Amino acid sequence: MAKVVQFDKTGGPEVLELREIDVGAPGPGELCIKVHAIGLNRAEIMYREGAYFYPPLLPSSLGYEAAGHVEAVGEGVSGFAVGDPVSVLPTFLQTEYGTYGDHVLIPAASVVARPPDLAPEKAAAVWMAHLTAYGALVEDDRTRPGDHVLITAASGSVGLAAIRTAQRIGAVPIATTRSRGKKERLLEAGASHVIVTDDENLDDRVKDITEGGGVRLAFDPVAGPQVETLAKTVSPGGQLVVYGALDPRPTPLPNAKGFPALSTRTYAVFEITTDPARLARGVAFVNAGLATGAVTPTIDTTFDLADIADAHRYMEGNSQIGKIVVTVPH
């Protein structure tokens, strides 16, 4: 029997329950993964609340990321053997598969080899954040060496990944945070500049940093009315990319009045992970960073699988810098 987190109704962290179930043998094209660590993502909170872009099918499991090793191989799967260390990529819907458990079934196409010297806790903190950053900054040549990139809410795992991705391609990462206490950590993570938005005027600071030119790309998980402020920081011909909805209020579309000519778009990591060619490029980019040390996931704290509700509560508190990881004892 496997221990798997499920919920029967949408709501707060208290709806999450750790249950013993029979996950069965992997079917054609699937692997059974013995999980050692799970990376948490805000998407899972929204899914649990019923506020995600697709509703849960109840009772539902959840989770997009994990690291462990192969326990069993389904029919037709090649390239994996029992005992192989692996990581799970966010390529599926949580209505189909989930990673919150000690043994889970996952499509083989959603699994990549994990370097043996990369600890499961670190491996579980890599892929959602760095593939998200890759797709927004690198794929389709959205940013170039020397470009300024504005990264809002930068202390989260995707924000930190975007800082390091911008560095890798020679761009200049400008990070924002509401908390002065996070400024030094963001500078240590590689941000060229940090703007504390509770204390500083965003538009004025960006103009100072870019000598009036603005940023080539603004990368934002917040949305809501503040996108109009972000739009003013973008250079003519630049892009405003919104990849989240932390602010539930309506998000206006900046119009031509008072704004430069810019492209505004929403973005999700599934643009990369559901396209085999794009995913292959993203995996190669991240793996190259892991090999050189340029990809170094930051783990804020860890929780035990039995304390999954507390892990969700901690994420909802928005105090973390980097990834929250759940470890799975065996």
pLDDT tens, 293-309? 999 999 999 999 999 99
Task: Give the pLDDT score at 109.
Answer: 97
pLDDT in tens, 206-240: 999 999 999 999 999 999 999 999 999 999 989 99
- Give the pLDDT score at 142: 85
Q: Which residues contact 157 (CB under 8 A, 6 or more apart)?
A: 39, 41, 125, 128, 129, 297, 298, 322, 323
The mean pLDDT value for 241-266 works out to: 84
pLDDT band at 33 (very low <50, low <70, confident <90, very high): very high
Q: Using one digit for the tens of pLDDT, what is the confidence trace for 57-69?
A: 999 999 999 999 9
pLDDT for the residue numbered 261? 75
Mode of pairing for the β-strands spanning 148-151 and 172-177: parallel
Res 256 pLDDT > 70: no
| CA-wise closest residue to 285 among 135, 88, 149, 116 | 135
Instruction: Please report the pLDDT score of residue 257 as a whole number.
Output: 61
The pTM of this model reads 0.95
Residue 24 above 90 pLDDT? yes
The predicted structure's pLDDT at residue 71: 98
Task: Using the structure block, give the residue that is written with the tokens 């692996």.
Answer: 86
- Of residues 127, 95, 135, the one with CA closest to residue 243: 135
Please give the pLDDT value at position 262: 81
Query: How do beta strands 215-220 and 299-304 pair?
Result: unpaired
**Dist CA 190 CA 141 (whole Å):** 21
123-134 average pLDDT score: 98
Mean pLDDT value of segment 117-135: 97
pLDDT for 253 equals 84
Residues 6+ apart with CB under 8 A from 276: none
Residue 179: band (very low, low, confident or very high) from pLDDT cuts 50, 70, 90: confident
Whether 258 has a pLDDT exceeding 70, the answer reads no
Query: 254 falls in which pLDDT band (50, 70, 90)?
Result: confident
Which helix (H) or strand (E) segment is 242 a member of? strand 234-242
Which band of pLDDT confidence, cut at 50, 70 and 90, is reported for residue 54?
A: very high
Residue 309 token pair: 């509700």
Task: Give the confidence band of 16 by pLDDT, cuts at 50, 70, 90.
Answer: very high
Are both 2-126+297-327 and 129-270 of the same fold? Answer: no
Q: Where exactly are the structural domains of the chain?
A: 2-126+297-327, 129-270
| 83-122 pLDDT per residue, tens | 999 999 999 999 999 999 999 999 999 999 999 899 999 9
**50-61: average pLDDT:** 95
Q: Which residues pair with 111 in a beta bridge?
A: 88
Decide if 236 contacts 260 (C-beta within 8 A): yes
- Percent of the chain beyond pLDDT 70? 98
Is the model's pLDDT at 259 over the cut of 80?
A: no
- The CATH class of the 129-270 domain is alpha beta
> What pLDDT was estimated at residue 141?
86
* 2-126+297-327: CATH class: alpha beta
**Six token digits for residue 42:** 């805000």
